[in-house]
Amino acid sequence: MSIELRHFRCFLAIADTLSITRAAERLHLTQPAVSRTLRQLEQELGLRLVDRSTHHLALTPDGLAFRDRAAVAVTAFDRALGAAHHTAWPLRLGHAWSAAGTDTTALLRRWHEEHPRTPLELLRIDDRTAGLARGDVDAALLRGEVRAPGLITEQLTTEPRVAGLPADDPLAHRATLSLVELADRTIALNTVSGTTTLDLWPAAARPASTITIGNTDDWLAAITGGRAVGVTTSATAEMHPHPSMAYVPLSDAPPVPVVIARRDGPGHPRVPDLIRLAHEVIGRTAGGAASGTASGSAGGTAGRSVGGAAPDGG
Instruction: Give the pLDDT confidence of 30-54 residue by residue, as tens digits.
Output: 999 999 999 999 999 999 999 987 6
- What's the rounded Cα separation, in Å, for the pair 183 and 125? 31
Fold of 90-314: D-Maltodextrin-Binding Protein; domain 2 (3.40.190)
In the predicted model, is pLDDT for residue 75 greater than 80?
Answer: no
In the predicted model, is pLDDT for residue 210 greater than 80?
Answer: yes
What's the whole-number mean pLDDT along residues 200-212? 95
In the predicted model, is pLDDT for residue 276 greater than 60?
Answer: yes
Least confident of 167-171, 214-218, 250-254: 214-218
What's the whole-number mean pLDDT along residues 292-297? 32
Residue 245 and residue 299 in contact, taking contact as beta carbons nearer than 8 Å: yes
What value does the mean pLDDT of the chain take? 85
In the predicted model, is pLDDT for residue 253 greater than 60?
Answer: yes
Give the start-to-end residue ranges of the domains of the chain. Answer: 5-83, 90-314
Residue 143, helix vs strand vs coil:
strand
Q: How confident is the model at residue 82 (pLDDT cuts 50, 70, 90)?
A: low
Instruction: Give the pLDDT confidence of 106-123 residue by residue, as tens digits.
Output: 999 999 999 999 999 999
Q: How confident is the model at residue 290 (pLDDT cuts 50, 70, 90)?
A: very low
Residue 18 and residue 28 in contact, taking contact as beta carbons nearer than 8 Å: no
Report the percent of the chain where pLDDT is more than 70. 86
Instruction: Give the pLDDT confidence of 256-271 residue by residue, as tens digits.
Output: 999 999 998 778 889 9
**Same fold for the domain at 5-83 and the one at 90-314?**
no
- Residues shown for the chain: 314
Of 4-18, 61-75, 267-281, the range with the highest mean pLDDT is 267-281
Instruction: Please state which architecture CATH assigns to domain 5-83.
Output: Orthogonal Bundle (1.10)
Looking at residue 223, its pLDDT comes to 97
Instruction: Give the pLDDT confidence of 132-151 residue by residue, as tens digits.
Output: 988 889 999 999 989 888 89
Looking at residue 54, its pLDDT comes to 63
Which own/partner contact pairs does 115-121 have at CB distance under 8 Å and 24+ positions apart? 115/270, 115/273, 117/88, 118/88, 118/89, 118/90, 118/91, 118/270, 119/88, 119/90, 119/91, 120/90, 120/91, 120/93, 120/274, 121/90, 121/91, 121/92, 121/93
Residue 83 and residue 96 in contact, taking contact as beta carbons nearer than 8 Å: no
- What's the rounded Cα separation, in Å, for the pair 271 and 92? 9
Looking at residue 265, its pLDDT comes to 79
pTM score above 0.75: no
Residue 303 and residue 246 in contact, taking contact as beta carbons nearer than 8 Å: yes
